[in-house]
Amino acid sequence: MTTETNMNADPSAHTGPVTGTEADRAEVVGDLPAVAIPVPAAAQPAKKDRRLLRATLRWVAAVAVFGVVGTGTAYGITRLDRTDVPGLATHPDGRWAYPVLVKPPLPSGSPGPNDDARNPAGTHYADLRKLVLPAPQGATADASLKGTDGWLPTKGFLAEFATADDRDELRQTLVDNGLRHITARGWTTPDGTHTRIYLLQFDTAAVAEAILNGKLMSQAAPTYALRDGDQYELDGKFPDPARIEHVLLAPYTELKPYGARQARQAYLASGDTVGVIIQSRKGSAPAVPFEQTVTLQSELLD
């Protein structure tokens, strides 16, 4: 049985069908019910910190809502089938053509990362290497992010940050918090946009959320400067319909005046995994493919 969902009608959509079968237990990327990221029952001392985290990220989301008005009709129509919006699939709004997205099958009997009752730790039991968003059509792969057997050494992720002091501090933070794996993918599209996606897996959702809020971002700005770009602010124009409700997200855009390249970055957390997405381009980095990429990666981790 093949299910076709046109995500092109969504601002974050790819242009191909989404497929899945019961036999392989693949979970189709698409509209899923909103489920809160689970909190481990044993992590009672962390409850206060996690309430602060969620309050911070709710504020981040609230700021972004103000940017929804005026984002254009491409963002005004979401979660519709292709037949519901004639011609939208070919509308030249800057979206990239991604391949069919299918979540990898879970081991038999294993719950998803947002199953509160059966998976309080928020563990991703699927192979994390298969949860990284694939490159869109026409893109050239970044061979430096291939890693060994799909796992990237920590230094490959740390290379994104500008100073040696920041890299050393973040390396120690990752060690202290029990980083398990990093997997990554990168590509460059014909217009020169360079995309890098990193997925960092920890032991529990509580740890992942603490890393997101307490280490990678502080208040309304990233903690560490990237090699691409210097100063950032919350992306208040990131459209609310492009967010996945139960994936914690903080998108940023580089402040003017920027140098030869503009950069955009997003930090997100879903279950036991933190995602870092960076896009940069000579001149300016367009918003549409950044928003699309962030949303699709969020859906894969959901």
pLDDT digits (tens, 9 = 90+) for 242-295: 999 789 999 999 998 888 899 999 999 999 999 999 999 999 999 999 999 999
Closest CA to 162 of 241, 278, 45: 278
Distance CA 20, CA 5 (A): 11
Which band of pLDDT confidence, cut at 50, 70 and 90, is reported for residue 229? confident
Closest CA to 262 of 230, 294, 236: 230
**What are the pLDDT digits (tens) for 186-227?**
999 999 999 999 999 999 999 999 999 989 997 788 999 999
Q: Which fold does the domain 36-70+120-301 belong to in CATH?
A: Protein Transport Mog1p; Chain A (3.40.1000)
For 260, which DSSP code?
A: S
Distance CA 229, CA 265 (A): 10
**What are the pLDDT digits (tens) for 127-145?**
999 999 999 999 999 999 9
Q: What percent of the chain has pLDDT over 70?
A: 70
As a residue count, the chain comes to 302
Which DSSP helix (H) or strand (E) runs through 210?
A: helix 205-210
| Sequence ranges of the domains in the chain | 36-70+120-301
Instruction: Indicate the pTM of the whole model.
Output: 0.73
Angle (CA) 270-117-104 rounded to 5° is 50
DSSP E strand boundaries for the chain? 140-141, 181-188, 194-201, 217-218, 221-222, 232-234, 248-254, 261-270, 273-282
